[in-house]
């Protein structure tokens, strides 16, 4: 996401805007909410067909393992420590606070590349500034479900998004046995075609609350808001608009196919190019998962798409013009995100009636979007979970 400009707006979003006319599309938060009833990811169309059954996620932390893939080697010198951390029942922000406390540094100086859920066992990288020769004693953190497995010198703070991807090992509890031939065929289909690259439910908050907060931000009624919190709300709006576009493409059946006017992204990069002609070579590269159609991450500036693709994206965005105007007013620029994500190394097996899956995804993709193409999954409730959580919320 582009870094928002003009920081003064974050503290009091309504103050600066009173001096200039407000666009009519921003005049009513209620109007915006009525225009787009909250559409959760579970309501979005699937690409692979009907789910093969039902499943329950995260009954215990061991059901959901995530291992970050850093994508670069530690410098082995410098004034930061790069920590390889295993945590159980602890979310990323809480673990960062505990690491900061143990090392005696400010929480704001702790870096991490991505946020990980607390209902899991995760292997994750953190960084913190450290000029001393004697490293902190991390052993007390074990009582809190945090273990520092390795420690390296590094030259800089670890930044958000500085990941190649994540590897997942997931156990899905299934109340009824899955049909093995159908499962084998579905996994082969996903390995071959990838999955729709929807943003997951956690991006939007409970019941889409982050979108409601963004409406207040755009209308100037949110009060004083931290840059971090406002960034979450803006990100949710972009994600919802992107999911709208992707859902339309999935419904049409061309989410994984190049169209004239598309912008195609080269696999493993953020670079893209416009499509003026669709030939056999271009189609073959898309089938080989070397190129992916993209969708808009909304902001100011012109869409790089053309023809029917541009018309589709403009139609989706026009349903809530206040969102488009608001994102642009906070300095976000037009960007692109792949409509499809490959599922690397996907394997699955049935163990004691449950489904065990192993796969890797690039940074920014959601494991739950792979799961929903196989099963109709729901999260275990607190009453259904079998082990304690370390971190709050």
Per-residue model confidence as pLDDT tens digits over 263-322: 999 998 889 999 999 999 999 999 999 999 999 999 999 999 999 999 999 999 999 999
pLDDT confidence of 188, banded at 50, 70, 90? very high
Q: Is the pLDDT of residue 254 over 60?
A: yes
The residue assigned the tokens 């190649």 is 164
CB 265 within 8 A of CB 338: yes
Q: Pairing mode, if any, of strands 121-129 and 64-69?
A: parallel
Distance (Å, whole) CA 49 – CA 52: 9
pLDDT confidence of 388, banded at 50, 70, 90? low
CB 227 within 8 A of CB 7: yes
CA dihedral 103, 106, 109, 114 (to 10 degrees): 80
Domain 8-40+204-341 matching CATH 3.30.2340.10: the answer reads yes
DSSP letter at 15 equals T
Task: Kindly list the catalytic residues.
Answer: 117
**What is the distance, to the nearest Å, from the Cα of residue 5 to the centroid of all Cα atoms in its chain?**
22
pLDDT confidence of 389, banded at 50, 70, 90? low
**What is the distance, to the nearest Å, from the Cα of residue 171 to the centroid of all Cα atoms in its chain?**
21
Extents of the domains making up the chain: 8-40+204-341, 72-154
DSSP letter at 3 equals P
CB 308 within 8 A of CB 252: no
Distance (Å, whole) CA 136 – CA 369: 39
Do the domains 72-154 and 8-40+204-341 match in fold?
no
Distance (Å, whole) CA 155 – CA 42: 42
CB 35 within 8 A of CB 356: no
Q: Is the pLDDT of residue 16 over 50?
A: no
Environment class of residue 132 by beta-carbon count within 10 Å: exposed (0-12), middle (13-18) or buried (19+)?
exposed
Length of the chain: 393
3-state secondary structure 272-324: EEECCCCCHHHHHHHHCCCEEEEEEECCECCCCCCHHHHHHHHHHHHCCHHHH
Distance (Å, whole) CA 274 – CA 259: 10
Topology annotation, domain 72-154:
Pseudouridine synthase (3.30.2350)
pLDDT at res. 387: 79
CA dihedral 12, 13, 19, 25 (to 10 degrees): -160
pLDDT at res. 218: 95
In percent, the amount of the chain with pLDDT more than 70 equals: 89
Task: For 316-346, write each residue's pLDDT tens digit.
Answer: 999 999 999 999 999 999 999 999 999 999 9
Task: For 211-251, write each residue's pLDDT tens digit.
Answer: 999 999 999 999 999 998 999 999 999 999 999 999 999 99
Distance (Å, whole) CA 346 – CA 236: 29
- Return the structure tokens found at 42: 């579970």
Tell me the whole-structure pTM to 2 decimals: 0.87
pLDDT at res. 249: 98
């Amino acid at each position: 996401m582009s870094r928002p400009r003009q920081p003064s707006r974050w503290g009091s979003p309504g103050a600066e805007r009173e001096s200039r006319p407000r666009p009519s599309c921003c005049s009513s938060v209620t109007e915006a909410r009525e225009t787009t009833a909250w559409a959760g990811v579970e309501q979005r169309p699937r690409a692979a067909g009907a789910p093969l059954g039902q499943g329950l996620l995260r009954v215990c932390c061991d059901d959901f393992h995530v291992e970050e893939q850093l994508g670069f080697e530690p410098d082995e010198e410098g004034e930061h420590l790069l920590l390889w951390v295993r945590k159980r029942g602890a979310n990323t922000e809480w673990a960062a606070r505990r690491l900061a406390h143990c090392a005696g540094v400010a929480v704001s100086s702790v870096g991490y590349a991505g946020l990980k859920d607390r209902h899991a066992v995760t292997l994750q990288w953190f960084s913190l500034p450290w000029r001393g020769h004697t490293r902190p004693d991390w052993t007390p953190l074990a009582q809190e479900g945090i273990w520092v497995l390795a420690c390296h010198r590094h030259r800089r703070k670890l930044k958000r998004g500085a990941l190649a991807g994540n590897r997942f090992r997931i156990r899905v509890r299934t109340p009824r046995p899955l049909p093995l031939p159908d499962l084998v065929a579905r996994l082969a289909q996903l390995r071959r075609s990838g999955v729709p690259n929807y943003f997951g439910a956690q991006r939007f908050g409970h019941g889409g609350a982050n979108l409601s907060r963004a409406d207040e931000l755009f209308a100037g009624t949110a009060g004083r808001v931290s840059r971090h919190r406002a960034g979450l709300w803006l990100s949710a709006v972009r994600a919802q608009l992107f999911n709208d576009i992707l859902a339309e493409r999935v419904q049409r059946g061309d989410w994984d196919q190049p169209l004239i006017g598309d912008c195609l992204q080269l696999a493993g990069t953020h670079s893209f190019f416009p499509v003026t002609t669709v030939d056999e070579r271009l189609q073959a590269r898309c089938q080989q998962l070397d190129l992916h159609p993209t969708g808009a991450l909304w902001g100011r500036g012109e869409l790089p798409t053309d023809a029917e693709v541009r018309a589709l994206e403009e139609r989706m965005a026009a349903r809530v013009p206040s969102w488009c105007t608001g994102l642009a007013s906070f300095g976000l620029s037009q960007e692109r995100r792949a409509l499809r994500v490959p599922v690397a190394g996907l394997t699955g097996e049935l163990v004691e009636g449950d489904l065990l899956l192993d796969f890797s995804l690039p940074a920014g993709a959601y494991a739950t979007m792979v799961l929903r193409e196989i099963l109709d999954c729901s999260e275990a409730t607190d009453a259904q979970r079998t082990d304690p959580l370390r971190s709050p919320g």
